A and B are shown apart, each in its own frame.
Chain A
Amino acid sequence: MKSYATFTLLAFLLPAAVEAAEEISTFSAYVDSDICARLMLGPITAERVQCSQGTFKDGAEPVLVRLHNNMVLTVNKEKMLRPLVGQLAQVSGKLKAKDGTIKLESAVGITDKSIPEGDPARRMLDVRMYKTDRSAQLHEKIRHELAMMPYISNFDFISFTQNGPDVILTGWTVRAINRDTAANIVRDIPGVETVINNIEILPLGSFDMDIRARARAALQRQLSRYFWGNGSDIKIIVKHGRVILLGMVSQKSDSDIAFIQCNAIPGVFKVFNLLRVQGSETGA
């Protein structure tokens, strides 16, 4: 009887202990869209704000970018962030840095003045303070290691930013192994000290899988020269019916063809065409 009572007591207390272990974090963040957060690494400029608000309006999901380290966090309550996209916010919630997620408890809009001078969070707010100190040799080493990852498919896009010994990994993948491998191989490169892993693992719902297959088939049919062996210069990112086209094409008309082909796929809500045209400064 006594052991039963002890067991019951433990059963009640253990979840509470686990709950207590997940402490509430409060920090300053920029409320971004998931597309801009993973592709426009660096300071919060007017261009970034425009990107955030524009892509959010077009259906991209709101996420948080933690100001002091550029970590992208997906949230459980997107509703709380919707009115704040393109703004700074003071947020609190249960943070799971390993997964890049936060269970939001509150999010309140703030101005940059409320972040004190000298606070590491200010680094992201001023272009002059955000310097990318880049060693060409280290940059090439990181690029090479990431490019040689064996499980990268047409449906994964993994990129990075290097600021001295600090590396921010970013992108989307359909396989958990790519997220982990990327962080592990970059962490092992001599000269790298910290790695922030902003690679998101994409859901594999049947609608998205169907879109992926159709998009690849259509692009491979129309733009076969960008597909080779088991890789491609065009990356097709699909999340909840939204398609993001990334990579490099040689002419603007190819970018347009890719956009039109993907737009014609049943079930696609929106195509974000971020294909870059070789020799062109801006994306297509």
Chain B
Amino acid sequence: MLTHQFIHFAAARFGGAALMLVIALSSCSRPVPKPAVNKVPAGQEYSGFLQSYTNLKPNPDFENTKSFVSSDPVKNIHRYVAVIVDAPEVYVSTNVDQNAIPERGVAALKEYFQNAITNAVADAFPVVQSSGPLVLRLRSAIVGVDVGQATRVDSKGENTLQRPLNIGKVGVEIELVDSETGEQIAAAVDRQDLGQGAEVGSVNFSREEKFRAATVAFDGWAARLREFLDSAHELSKQDVDRIESTNFPY
């Protein structure tokens, strides 16, 4: 009887201690949280966000843009009908201190750009939530974000950022990949300077008149993405000839 009681006591006491030890160890080995933003590597032309830059070529239809559209007969943009829009990534300029970047501002900026992209593509590529056949994944990055001077204390409101995000030299890198295999189907690096003079100084920047230039810039990049998709969907001469020779739609 006494032996039984001892075993119960020991199990309760040392079992609990073992559990605490496991919790302590697991919290020690938890990976260091990833910073909210990435940094453009020094001396590099691109951020490194896209899976591949090797196929990019200057696009004559879009100023300051290099792009790629797969012409593989089996894996090309025409073979897909829906898209998953991933949350954009943010890359700060090489010389920016990542710790000075206000996380709330980055989150607001990401959210705005994701919505802008979604609205721009949704009627042509319905947005879905899960990967599968016929579904593309749209990955995007806002590259070259800078931070401005610390905001004066007396002008701080609840939603005002400690430092504004400067998007004057921002470009956008975007790619469409097969949602199942990750294979790159189309990509574009858009360096059109739509953000000149624009900054984001508040979490609610999309509703504030003084940050209108920033929203215009993001909407502009989203619209250019849509134009890029439209141009990638133009019928080839082969398709036109074939359609003309049939009675479609009958």
Q: Which residues of A contact B (CB under 8 A)?
A: 143-144, 146-148, 150-151, 153, 155, 157-160, 171, 174-177, 180, 204, 206, 209-210, 212-214, 228-231, 233, 247-248, 276
Contact = CB atoms under 8 A, between A and B. Distances in A.
Interface stretch (B22-30, B119-127, B214-222): B119-127
Nearest to B231: A150
Contacts, number: 85
A171 B248 CA distance: 13
A65 to B, nearest CB: 20
Nearest to B235: A150
A175 B238 contact: no
Interface stretch (B132-140, B147-155, B205-213): B132-140
Contacts of A147: 243-244, 248-249
Given A175-B126, A176-B123, A153 B242 contact: no
Contact of A209 (B82, B240, B244, B247): B82
B249 A143 contact: yes
B123 A209 contact: no
Contacts of B250: 159, 248, 276
A150 B81 CA distance: 13
Nearest to A233: B246
Say whether chain A's binding surface is mostly helix, strand, loop, or mixed: mixed
A176 B122 CA distance: 8
Given A155-B81, A209-B82, A148 B132 contact: no
Contact of A229 (B122, B133, B134, B236): B236
Residue of A144, A157, A160, A177 ringed by the most chain B CB atoms within 10 A: A177
B236 A230 contact: yes
Nearest to B239: A229
B230 interface: yes
B124 A177 contact: yes
A150 B242 contact: no
B124 A151 contact: yes
Nearest to A227: B73
Interface string B62-82: 000000000000001010011
Contact of B242 (A175, A177, A180, A231): A231
B124 A229 contact: no
Contact of A158 (B126, B133, B249): B249
Given A160-B249, A230-B78, A150 B126 contact: no
Contact of B235 (A143, A214, A230): A230
B249 A213 contact: no
Contacts of B238: 228-229
B45 interface: no
A146 B249 contact: yes
B55 interface: no
Given A150-B234, A150-B235, A155-B81, A204 B128 contact: yes
B130 interface: yes
A148 B236 CA distance: 10
A178 to B, nearest CB: 9
Contacts of A148: 235, 240, 243
Interface in B121-175: 122-126, 128, 130, 132-135
A175 B132 CA distance: 17
Nearest to B126: A204
A209 B122 CA distance: 17
B130 A206 contact: yes
A143 B248 CA distance: 7
A180 B132 CA distance: 26
Given A144-B244, A175-B81, 17 more contacts: A148-B235, A155-B81, A160-B249, A175-B124, A176-B123, A204-B82, A204-B128, A209-B133, A210-B132, A212-B133, A212-B134, A213-B133, A228-B238, A229-B239, A230-B235, A247-B248, A276-B250
B135 A209 contact: yes
B230 A209 contact: no
B236 A150 contact: no
Nearest to B81: A174
A174 B126 contact: yes
A248 B134 contact: no
A234 B162 CA distance: 59
Contacts of A158: 249
A51 B153 CA distance: 74
Given A143-B249, A146-B249, A175-B123, A204 B236 contact: no
A187 to B, nearest CB: 17
Contact of B230 (A150, A157, A180): A150
B233 interface: yes
A255 to B, nearest CB: 15
B86 to A, nearest CB: 18
